[in-house]
Structure 1
Amino acid sequence: MRLATPTGFATEVFLQETPDPSLLPEGPWTLVGDVRLRETWTSAGMPEPAHTLWVSVSEEEKKLRTILPWLEHWARVPLHREATVVALGGGVLSDMAGLASALYLRGVAWQVWPTSLLAMADAALGGKTGVDLAAGKNLVGAFHAPRRLVACTAFLESLPTRHLENGRWELVKTALIQGEMAWAAEMLQDGPVKFAWVERTLAYKAGVVHRDPREAGERRLLNLGHTLGHALEAASGYGLLHGEAVGLGLLGTCLLAEEVGLKAFPPAFLEALARRLAPLAPLVAPWPACLPLLLRDKKAKHVPGAAEDEPGTEIHCILPRFGEPAIQRTLAPQVWESPHARLIDLLAQEASRA
């Protein structure tokens, strides 16, 4: 099924139950795929072109040094400008393959076939590509939209429960951005992730990206939960999965919204969030480990005349509002200290009830 996207949108979006070879590039192409998916891909009758790269990548390997051998390989083939790179894997691989495609010959076309719920709901759509630096996540990257996104639900069947839960938080994020509380509450209940939720999330993100492709305004809303989330993820030594960190960031930002004077979220909703997140409590780093990472967040800016570790540093934050669309505010990173403490308390309370 081809998803309806805005006229002129850079990426064709398809939602499928099973892989369809007719959706692969018509001209010359090569594949960069997660090695764990090789058998799934070939057993589905999908082609494995010459010079395919089957790779193993993790968040810890999401570095420039990891993609340099890919670029050298393409140059030896050689891969020409009219070729297309097909990326098969989760969010880490799609971020890296997209950046490699943007760099090679100053940009070759690419397709993304996301195989995790997190990638389907977020990383694969929008043209953001990137790798990490020691100072923080995704500090090196480029906007390079894929020509086509093909999301096949069959790829989700072998995912561990934790990885399905990991992707659920990007869906909840989309509901909170729009103030769609009934939808958010539905997704916080026990039960499998629904295909319709993914479709709704992709349709919303496509509209936002089309209106703001370079993240100059509205698209910044998609960072909801990511400010504190990225800090928690890095401070955990990446023991937290990205979506899990976003989920914790969503709870934290609901608490922050109340503290800066916005309408408070009902205790029942906060408890529902905390209940699903409670198993992650042991991985939540203490505040002193998070603050330096917030100060180095790519959305942070330094106020002239202030020391780098002083409150003069400001950070762009997205704040949800109960039953209303989220808003954007620029705040000192230190405002996150109290929500961080309250988040830990809520997780402890829910864990004690389990």
Structure 2
Amino acid sequence: MRLATPSGFATEVFLLEAPDKGLLPDGHWTLVGDMRLREAWTGAGMPEPGDALWVTVPEEEKKLRTVIPWLEHWARVPLHRDATVVALGGGVVSDLVGLGAALYLRGVAWQVWPTTLLAMADASLGGKTGADLAAGKNLVGAFHPPKRLVACTGFLKDLPARHLENGRWELIKTALILGEMAWAMEMLQDGPVRFAWVERALAYKAGVVHRDPREAGERRLLNLGHTLGHALEAASGYRLLHGEAVGLGLLGACLLAEEQGLKSFPPDLLDLLVRRLTPLAPLIAPWPACLPLLHRDKKAKRASGHTEEAPATEIHCILPRPGESAIQRALAPRVWEVPHARLIDLLDREAHRA
């Protein structure tokens, strides 16, 4: 089915059970796909261009150096301006293929066929492409929306349980942005991910992106959980998956909101968050490893009066509120120290109870 999106939205969005070759581009197209999906793709009767690239890209290789050989390959084919690149895989593949499409010939069309729940719920929609630098995540990138997003839920059947959980956190993020505690608690319960949750999260994100395509205001709300989450992810040496780090960041954001004097969260919600996140406790880096990464976050900015020895930065922090939409506040990175400590304490207590 085709998802309803705002009039004039840059990306057509389809949610299907199985892939449909009728949704592939007209004219010349090529593919960059995750090697692990090649058999599933061809087994579903989907065409495989002769110049396709089947790749293996772990999280730590989400770098510019990974994209350059793809650009060279497209130039040798050669790929012309009227061609389309199809990305098949998870968030790392879609971010890098989208970046490559933005760079090649100063921008060629592309489609994204996300195959993980995380990519379906977040990375595939919105036009953000990116690569990581040693200093932090997604510090290189471009806004280059795909022409079409085709999410086939059948690809999720063979996804490991940890990766399904990884994507669930981006869905929970949407509920917390909206302040919908009942929806958040529903998704925090044990049980399978529902198709309707993905549909609703994509529809919400499409509306936000359409109103604020360049992240000048409202779209920053989509960073809920990512401020502390990105720091935890990088400080763990990427042993934390992205969605897991976002989940920890969501709990941290709830705690920070309370520290900032906003409305307290229902204890039942916090208990569910803590229980789901407790297995990740051993992967949480100490605060001194996180603070430098927060200073280098792409949402951070220099404030007046900074010095080389003590950079006085501010960072756009997204604070959730029960029953109301999340809000934005520019705060010093150090405000995360207490929520970081409380997060560790809550998870440790839960681990000892269990």
| Equivalent residue number for residue 241 of structure 1 | 241
Asked whether the equivalents of residues 181 and 269 of structure 2 are also in contact (C-alpha less than 8 Å), the reply is no
Identity value in percent: 82
**Shift of residue 310, structure 1, vs aligned partner:** 3.0
The AA in structure 2 aligned to 1:231 is A
Q: What is the CA–CA distance in structure 2 between the aligned matches of 1:73 and 1:82, rounded to whole Å?
A: 16
| Equivalent residue number for residue 340 of structure 1 | 340
Query: Which deviates further from its counterpart, 75-84 or 296-305?
Result: 296-305
**Shift of residue 338, structure 1, vs aligned partner:** 0.3
Unaligned runs of 5+ in 2: none
Q: Does 1:258 align with 2:258?
A: yes
Asked whether the equivalents of residues 59 and 238 of structure 2 are also in contact (C-alpha less than 8 Å), the reply is yes
The AA in structure 1 aligned to 2:289 is A
Unaligned runs of 5+ in 1: none
The AA in structure 2 aligned to 1:91 is G
* 1:106-121 → structure 2 map (5 Å cutoff): 106-121=106-121
**Shift of residue 347, structure 1, vs aligned partner:** 0.7
The AA in structure 1 aligned to 2:322 is F
Asked whether the equivalents of residues 295 and 309 of structure 1 are also in contact (C-alpha less than 8 Å), the reply is no
Q: What is the CA–CA distance in structure 1 between the aligned matches of 2:205 and 2:174, rounded to whole Å?
A: 8
Q: Does 1:267 align with 2:267?
A: yes
- Give the TM-score normalised by structure 1: 0.99
Q: Does 1:71 align with 2:84?
A: no
| Equivalent residue number for residue 299 of structure 2 | 299
| Equivalent residue number for residue 197 of structure 2 | 197
Q: What is the CA–CA distance in structure 2 between the aligned matches of 1:310 and 1:273, rounded to whole Å?
A: 34
Q: Does 1:100 align with 2:70?
A: no
Q: What is the CA–CA distance in structure 1 between the aligned matches of 2:308 and 2:260, rounded to whole Å?
A: 23
Q: What is the CA–CA distance in structure 2 between the aligned matches of 1:78 and 1:89, rounded to whole Å?
A: 23
**Shift of residue 305, structure 1, vs aligned partner:** 2.4
Asked whether the equivalents of residues 271 and 346 of structure 1 are also in contact (C-alpha less than 8 Å), the reply is no
| Equivalent residue number for residue 220 of structure 1 | 220
The 3-state SS of whatever aligns with 1:318 is strand
- 1:120-152 deviation digits (Å, cap 9, x = unpaired): 000000000000000000000000000000000
Asked whether the equivalents of residues 302 and 311 of structure 2 are also in contact (C-alpha less than 8 Å), the reply is no
**Shift of residue 349, structure 1, vs aligned partner:** 1.6
Q: What is the CA–CA distance in structure 2 between the aligned matches of 1:103 and 1:311, rounded to whole Å?
A: 33
Asked whether the equivalents of residues 42 and 48 of structure 1 are also in contact (C-alpha less than 8 Å), the reply is yes
| Equivalent residue number for residue 323 of structure 1 | 323
**Shift of residue 112, structure 1, vs aligned partner:** 0.1
The 3-state SS of whatever aligns with 2:285 is coil
Q: What is the CA–CA distance in structure 1 between the aligned matches of 2:314 and 2:307, rounded to whole Å?
A: 12
The AA in structure 2 aligned to 1:220 is R
Q: What is the CA–CA distance in structure 2 between the aligned matches of 1:12 and 1:32, rounded to whole Å?
A: 20
Asked whether the equivalents of residues 291 and 333 of structure 1 are also in contact (C-alpha less than 8 Å), the reply is yes
Q: What is the CA–CA distance in structure 1 between the aligned matches of 2:125 and 2:186, rounded to whole Å?
A: 24
**Shift of residue 311, structure 1, vs aligned partner:** 6.5
| Equivalent residue number for residue 124 of structure 1 | 124
Q: What is the CA–CA distance in structure 1 between the aligned matches of 2:352 and 2:210, rounded to whole Å?
A: 45
Q: What is the CA–CA distance in structure 2 between the aligned matches of 1:222 and 1:332, rounded to whole Å?
A: 20
- 1:194-248 deviation digits (Å, cap 9, x = unpaired): 0000000000000000000000000000000000000000000000000000000
| Equivalent residue number for residue 314 of structure 1 | 314
**Shift of residue 50, structure 1, vs aligned partner:** 1.4
The 3-state SS of whatever aligns with 2:146 is coil
- 1:272-319 deviation digits (Å, cap 9, x = unpaired): 101000000000000000000000000001113212563621111000
The 3-state SS of whatever aligns with 1:9 is coil
Q: What is the CA–CA distance in structure 2 between the aligned matches of 1:304 and 1:331, rounded to whole Å?
A: 13
Asked whether the equivalents of residues 311 and 332 of structure 1 are also in contact (C-alpha less than 8 Å), the reply is no
Cα 1:308/1:178, change in 2 over 3 Å? farther
**Shift of residue 267, structure 1, vs aligned partner:** 2.1
Asked whether the equivalents of residues 12 and 148 of structure 1 are also in contact (C-alpha less than 8 Å), the reply is yes
The 3-state SS of whatever aligns with 1:157 is helix
Q: What is the CA–CA distance in structure 2 between the aligned matches of 1:223 and 1:7, rounded to whole Å?
A: 25
Cα 1:176/1:308, change in 2 over 3 Å? farther
**Shift of residue 337, structure 1, vs aligned partner:** 0.3
| Equivalent residue number for residue 30 of structure 1 | 30
Q: What is the CA–CA distance in structure 2 between the aligned matches of 1:267 and 1:186, rounded to whole Å?
A: 15
Q: What is the CA–CA distance in structure 2 between the aligned matches of 1:293 and 1:309, rounded to whole Å?
A: 16
Q: What is the CA–CA distance in structure 1 between the aligned matches of 2:241 and 2:225, rounded to whole Å?
A: 14
